[in-house]
Structure 1
Amino acid sequence: MARELWGSNIGFILATVGSAVGLGNIWRFPYIVYNNGGGAFLIPYLVALFCVGISIMLLEFALGHSTKGSAPLAFKRLHEKSEWIGWFAVMSGFTITTYYMSIIGWCMYYLYNLLLNGFYY
């Protein structure tokens, strides 16, 4: 069976950015920075982002590219007893997706009420 590939590089980049940038980074992060000293909080965040976040992302991409399999299969091919790490990643993604679906549900509810009743709710 042939493995599906990305149609273009821009599609892959947009999917990666959409996965990495969550509501916490857009809504909560500026508030936390403001309450905890502004720019002083930004320095350790950027250091952690570049030292840890990008390194782990590149490791994940390399592992997926070399094994050509899902996360559990990739970790299983790496070591027999490490398959649970891949399943943990799958469950984390499922949990995050469930959270975002509830947020989208609230947004749709409020949009429906806005369109139905106007601004005078």
Structure 2
Amino acid sequence: TSSSPSPVAGVEREQWSGQLGFLMAAIGSAVGLGNIWRFPGVAYTNGGGAFMVPYIVALLAAGIPILLLDYATGHRYRGSSPTALRRISKRFEWLGWFHVMICFVIMTYYAVIVAWSLRYMLFSLNTAWG
């Protein structure tokens, strides 16, 4: 990332150094822990390779367009989700706060999973299993 002038006087904003760095960060954000952790089991219980067809269709038809819409809205209105949606229309601000709430719930869920993983990793170093 590099710095560039921001609309706020005296504050420099970080910028991506290139498109590849942004693309990799966006993919990592979109994939998330859930896809890595749960996907093999979900694919297995829902037909294996046959599950991939509706999964890819849903990903291309809904997942990626919604992700791009979110990025474009944030880029166009230069703000967080509630700020950007309020700038579009005041009646949409609640949707931005709903987005923030969902992110908070997911973050707390992931924090528990990471804590369990760290605990199991530390337990694997000795015989503290029980």
TM-score by length of 1: 0.85
Q: How many equivalent pairs are there? A: 120
Pick the structure with more strand per residue. Answer: 2
Deviation at 1:28, TM superposition (A): 1.8
With over 3 angstroms needed to count, the CA separation of the structure-2 counterparts of 1:38 and 1:113, relative to structure 1, is closer
| 2:60 maps to 1:45 | no
SS where residue 5 of structure 1 aligns? strand
Identity of aligned residues (%): 49
Q: Please list, as runs of the form range in 1=range in 2, the aligned pairs for 1:1-121 lying within 5 A after superposition.
A: 1=8, 2=11, 4-9=13-18, 10-115=20-125, 117=126
Q: Is the contact between residue 6 and residue 12 of structure 1 (CA under 8 Å) also seen in structure 2?
A: no
Residue type at the aligned position of 2:46: N
For structure 1, which segment, 8-17 or 104-113, has the greater mean C-alpha deviation from structure 2 after superposition? 8-17
TM-superposition CA deviations, 1:22-48 (whole Å, max 9, x none)? 232123222222222222211111011
Residue type at the aligned position of 2:90: E
Partner Cα distance (1:120, 1:101) in 2: 21
For structure 1, which segment, 25-34 or 7-16, has the greater mean C-alpha deviation from structure 2 after superposition? 7-16
Q: Is the contact between residue 71 and residue 87 of structure 1 (CA under 8 Å) also seen in structure 2?
A: yes
Unaligned runs of 5+ in 1: none
With over 3 angstroms needed to count, the CA separation of the structure-2 counterparts of 1:11 and 1:34, relative to structure 1, is same
SS where residue 106 of structure 1 aligns? helix
- What do you get for the CA RMSD once the two structures are aligned? 2.1
Partner Cα distance (2:48, 2:120) in 1: 33
Higher relative contact order (CA 8 A, sep 6+): 2
Q: Is the contact between residue 72 and residue 86 of structure 1 (CA under 8 Å) also seen in structure 2?
A: yes
Unaligned runs of 5+ in 2: 1-7
Residue type at the aligned position of 1:12: F
Residue type at the aligned position of 1:64: G
